[in-house]
């Protein structure tokens, strides 16, 4: 009997919890789904303080879109927020459409989705930052009004339809003229197969054949090599410097780009200055650290006191500074050539070439090197190809581990050409795993392509003419 009563009480308690939960769930459904049968267009008419936004929608090509079956998120500014809207926007259908499209996104985004910053794609192709109860600088005052085809968030500010960073650079006067001119000079015409008209397939290569003249699109070397500042999905922090600061930096870097042509020297020096001026991510002034690391490993010192202008972009932020100088000693970093990554050899001796995975007994770190042994060729060499080498002096080092024979041997570095005698032969000691300074050499003029050769002894004897290399390091002498 006692067990039966306990069972009865457990059953009653379970039923009570179940009924209570069902009641709570029914109430939840009533709150979130009460508008489920109403379109966003209908819902908006019932929300106070959105009549001006509704009126603008009625004037635009988006008049009926919020009544469609697709799913949208609308960030709707209040009447008060729209009082400062530029009349030229309301009187220009194209500009009005862009403005409104910057407040409407495909798909449904609730505030509960934005526990971290979301980059939300708007109908105008721009992205806005949505985090918690904010979209860009606007606060969401009424959130998550759910309808049959999406959700409405009421906001207290308009969301500006901004230019992206590249549009700011290329179509406005917001950044100083000299840096702007250099960046635009990097424009060129490139080929995009997705934009080209295919006329067939090459029967030999199997590659597509395109109609001549199609697929030609504007490109820019800064987009290719640094960051594509047109990209709306990502965010960047871009720095520009005043013309006098740019000129000072240009004069500092021109000696490293001797070409015999003033224009090409200026262009090469200018690119070297600005290539480190874009950082991934958006840094507000409060977030800006004293030093940032560029894509190329260069430390960029940022003095916030030098910021003279801030321009917000759809994909980040632009800072114009009175000065942002990077010393050559910090700009030109050591170049490391891994021994196994050679680009060619004087003779095909692949059967005598070994790639070894080792542990450096001095550092305790793993490394991989190349060993060419028993090749039977006097003056056998490996070539290492470099690109865009500045006109300057370098100190050369190598790590060459002779742990495969008990006798020493010699090898040398030959900068520029394999027959160069800038460096004499250097003895490779047994079991030395430390860096060895080979000497200094100078590149007198800028070289688009430059070769360094590792040359073996002028002997065909196996013990005398091996080549071995963990890495070669070239350190600018500044």
Could you say which of 327, 345, 378 is where a domain stops?
Answer: 327
> pLDDT at position 66, please?
86
Residues 310 and 345 in one domain: no
Tokens encoding 478: 């500044």
State mean pLDDT over 434-460: 97
Residues 341 and 464 in one domain: yes
Tell me the residue range of the domain where 87 lies.
Answer: 40-155
Residues 122 and 222 in one domain: no
> What is the total count of domains within the chain?
3
In a domain, 34, yes or no: no
In a domain, 16, yes or no: no
Q: How far is CA 125 from each of CA 170, 308, 398, rounded to the nearest angstrom?
A: 19, 30, 51
Is the pLDDT at 70 greater than 80, yes or no?
A: yes
Cα–Cα dist 315/396, whole Å: 42
Residues 172 and 289 in one domain: yes
In a domain, 65, yes or no: yes
Q: For 252-294, what is each residue's pLDDT tens digit? A: 999 999 999 999 999 999 999 999 999 999 999 999 999 999 9
In a domain, 29, yes or no: no
List the one residue out of 392, 238, 388 whose CA is nearest residue 324: 238
DSSP designation for 370? E
Q: Express the helix, strand and coil content of the chain in percent, nearest 5 each.
A: 25, 35, 40
> pLDDT at position 36, please?
60
Cα–Cα dist 100/450, whole Å: 54
- Buried/exposed 410-427: b ≥16 CB within 10 Å, e otherwise: bbbbbbbebebebbeebe
Q: How far is CA 174 from each of CA 146, 170, 285, 313, rounded to the nearest angstrom?
A: 41, 10, 18, 11
Cα–Cα dist 26/229, whole Å: 49
Cα–Cα dist 392/384, whole Å: 19
What is the pTM for the complete model shown? 0.84
Q: For 101-144, what is each residue's pLDDT tens digit? A: 999 999 999 999 988 889 999 999 999 999 989 999 999 999 99
Task: List the CATH number of the domain containing 405.
Answer: 2.60.120.260
Could you say which of 132, 155, 178 is where a domain stops?
Answer: 155
Residues 440 and 462 in one domain: yes
Bridge pairing between strands 344-345 and 236-241: unpaired
> pLDDT at position 4, please?
41
In a domain, 19, yes or no: no
Is the pLDDT at 29 greater than 60, yes or no?
A: no
If pLDDT is split at 50, 70 and 90, which confidence band does 159 have? very high
> pLDDT at position 157, please?
95
Is the pLDDT at 31 greater than 50, yes or no?
A: no
Is residue 155 within 8 A of residue 129, CB to CB? The reply is: no
Is the pLDDT at 6 greater than 70, yes or no?
A: no
If pLDDT is split at 50, 70 and 90, which confidence band does 11 have? very low
> pLDDT at position 35, please?
58
> pLDDT at position 46, please?
86
In a domain, 13, yes or no: no
The runs of H, that is alpha helices, within 282-405 are 328-331
DSSP designation for 107? S
If pLDDT is split at 50, 70 and 90, which confidence band does 34 have? low
Q: For 291-324, what is each residue's pLDDT tens digit? A: 999 999 999 999 999 999 999 999 999 999 999 9
Is residue 355 within 8 A of residue 440, CB to CB? The reply is: no
Residues 90 and 119 in one domain: yes
Task: List the CATH number of the domain containing 109.
Answer: 2.30.180.10
> pLDDT at position 19, please?
38
State mean pLDDT over 413-431: 97
Residues 438 and 411 in one domain: yes
């Amino acid at each position: 009997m006692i067990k039966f009563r306990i069972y009865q009480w457990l059953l009653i308690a379970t039923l009570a919890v179940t009924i209570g939960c069902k009641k709570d769930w029914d109430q939840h459904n009533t709150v979130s789904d009460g508008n489920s049968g109403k379109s966003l267009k209908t819902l908006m008419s019932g929300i106070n303080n959105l009549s001006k936004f509704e009126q603008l929608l009625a004037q635009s090509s988006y008049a009926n879109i919020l009544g469609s079956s697709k799913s949208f998120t609308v960030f709707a500014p209040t009447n008060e927020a729209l009082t400062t809207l530029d009349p030229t926007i309301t009187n220009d259908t194209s500009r009005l459409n862009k403005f409104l499209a910057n407040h409407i996104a495909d798909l449904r985004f609730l505030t509960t989705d934005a526990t971290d910053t979301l980059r939300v794609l708007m109908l105008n192709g721009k992205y806005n930052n949505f985090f918690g109860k904010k979209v860009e600088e606007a606060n969401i005052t009424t959130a998550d009004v759910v309808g049959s085809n999406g959700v409405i968030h009421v906001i207290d500010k308009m969301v500006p339809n901004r230019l992206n960073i590249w549009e700011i650079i290329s179509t406005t006067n917001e950044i100083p003229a000299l840096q702007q001119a250099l960046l635009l000079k990097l424009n060129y015409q490139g080929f995009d197969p997705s934009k080209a008209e295919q006329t067939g397939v090459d029967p030999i290569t199997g590659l597509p054949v395109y109609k001549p003249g199609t697929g030609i699109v504007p490109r820019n070397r800064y987009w290719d090599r640094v960051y594509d500042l047109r990209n709306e999905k990502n965010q960047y922090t871009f720095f520009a410097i005043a013309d006098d600061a740019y000129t000072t930096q240009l004069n500092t870097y021109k000696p490293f780009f001797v070409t015999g042509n003033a224009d090409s020297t200026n262009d090469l020096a200018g690119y070297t200055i600005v290539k480190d001026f874009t950082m991934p991510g958006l840094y507000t002034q409060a977030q800006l650290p004293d030093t940032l690391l560029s894509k190329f490993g260069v430390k960029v010192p940022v003095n916030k006191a030098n910021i003279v202008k801030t321009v917000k972009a759809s994909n980040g932020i632009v800072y114009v500074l009175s000065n942002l100088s990077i010393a050559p000693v910090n700009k030109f970093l050591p170049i490391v050539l891994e021994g196994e990554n050679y680009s060619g050899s004087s003779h095909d001796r692949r059967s005598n070439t070994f790639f070894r995975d080792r542990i450096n007994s001095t550092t305790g770190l793993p490394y991989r090197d190349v060993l060419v042994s028993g090749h039977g060729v006097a003056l056998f060499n490996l070539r290492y190809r470099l690109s865009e080498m500045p006109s300057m002096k370098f100190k050369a080092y190598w790590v060459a581990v002779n742990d495969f024979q008990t006798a020493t041997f010699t090898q040398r570095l030959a900068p520029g050409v394999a027959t160069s005698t800038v460096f004499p032969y250097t003895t490779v000691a047994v079991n030395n795993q430390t860096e060895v300074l080979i000497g200094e050499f100078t590149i007198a003029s800028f070289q688009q392509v430059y070769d360094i050769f590792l040359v073996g002894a002028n002997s065909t004897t196996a013990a005398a003419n091996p080549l071995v290399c963990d890495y070669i390091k070239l350190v600018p002498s500044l």
